[in-house]
A and B are shown apart, each in its own frame.
Chain A
Amino acid sequence: MASLKTSGEVYRPHSGRPAGGIRPVGPGAHSAGPSARCAGNSASGIRATRIEKLVLDAAQTDIPACSRPFEALGAGIGVTGADVLKVLKTYKKKGVVRRIGGSFETRKLGFSSTLAGARVKPSRLAAVAKEISKFPGVTHCYERAGEMNLWFTVGVRGTMAGVNRQIAVFRRLPGVEKCYSFPVKTMFKIKTFFPI
């Protein structure tokens, strides 16, 4: 994964910095000039300007609900609305930004969801994963190392009964040896933030 290329730019995971988890990078952490490339100062290690980092970090947190949201976002970090838009467009095009939109609380919209873990015969794994991924309510589907080799999320409108029915359908796919649903009992955190 060390040589991802997008739009001709090579991302270099920075290796000279001591490890220690994702660290939030506040405005104070940026000391280079506005146009300087400061990979060495970056939490993510990707090459981006100081302004790009500020915009991408702020936009991952909250785009305000107002008439001119990009201008408002920029005002908080000392960047013009036009520059905010420029950075977001560039990084969307590069594929670093997947989507700019709403993050909803599934349950409060009247949906139920779960995480499911399955053990699938290795020879059938890809086929089963593809079949499961066809279901629109499956948003994540990963092969993982271990006894349970396929993990996916399932969400449906309505109660857990609908989720369970869907899991039962997946459980009957040829090659599926086990398939368990692990619904949430307590939510402690959901916050994806990747400081650039």
Chain B
Amino acid sequence: MKLKKTEEAIVRALQGDIPLEPEPFKKMAAGLGIKEEEFLAALKKFKKSGVLRCVRAIVRHKRAGYFANAMVAWKIPAGRAISFGKTAAASPAISHCYERVVRPGWSYNLYTMVHGRSRAEILKVVSGLVKKTGAKEYLVLESLREFKKTSMAYF
């Protein structure tokens, strides 16, 4: 989607924090020298076209009590990738699920991000998924150190 300059400015404003006051978009619009109606219209257009998933609060999961997370890489036969993806996506403990390309020496094709309050909870989610899908090969890649975690700055 090709954005106009004003629309880019609106994305720039929304990729940061919205002001915590009763009429946040009015203030953001004023900062860009446009009317609140124009700002809201762009917001709705972004949502409708799927450019903007939503405006929301993003929590630091560890501070919110979800102390454990793991990226699990799965080797799923090509014909079963879609059904595996759908089953994994249905789990509320799984936040991200993708099929990704494979590389020589690395044939894991499905990736799931699993969150839980403990390591045991994560492993339980993984074993549940194994039982449901019959998946045989997977790696639980627990995070040992976080070097960077931020939101994308687009414009």
Interface residues of A (CB under 8 A from B): 1-2, 4, 6, 11, 13-14, 19-24, 42, 44-46, 56, 59-63, 65-71, 81, 85, 88-89, 91-92, 94-106, 108-111, 115, 117, 126, 129-130, 132-133, 136-146, 148, 151-152, 155, 157, 180, 182-194, 196
Contacts and interface: CB of A to CB of B under 8 A. Distances in A.
B125 A21 contact: yes
Given A61-B56, A109-B51, 17 more contacts: A19-B121, A44-B65, A61-B54, A62-B55, A67-B23, A91-B59, A92-B20, A100-B56, A103-B56, A104-B11, A106-B154, A108-B50, A139-B149, A141-B148, A143-B145, A144-B144, A190-B95
A193 B65 contact: no
B81 interface: yes
Contacts of A20: 121, 124
Interface residues of B, number: 88
A143 B49 contact: no
A44 B71 CA distance: 20
Q: Is the interface of B mostly helix, strand, loop or mixed?
A: mixed
A189 B89 contact: yes
Contacts of A22: 66, 92-93, 115-116
B144 A24 contact: no
Given A22-B93, A105-B51, A188-B98, A100 B58 contact: yes
Contact of A151 (B64, B71, B96): B71
A88 B17 CA distance: 12
Nearest to A65: B43
A98 to B, nearest CB: 5
B64 A104 contact: no
Given A67-B40, A100-B17, A140-B148, A23 B92 contact: yes
9 contacts: A65-B40, A69-B24, A100-B18, A101-B18, A103-B58, A104-B52, A126-B147, A191-B96, A192-B95
A126 B148 CA distance: 12
B30 interface: no
A126 B15 CA distance: 28
A141 to B, nearest CB: 4
Contact of B141 (A45, A130, A144, A152): A144
Contacts of B63: 4, 6, 11, 46, 94-96
A113 to B, nearest CB: 8
B149 A140 contact: yes
B153 A136 contact: yes
B138 to A, nearest CB: 12
Contacts of B2: 110
Contact of B92 (A24, A106, A142, A183): A24
Contact of B49 (A88, A108, A185): A108
A131 to B, nearest CB: 10
A103 B109 CA distance: 26
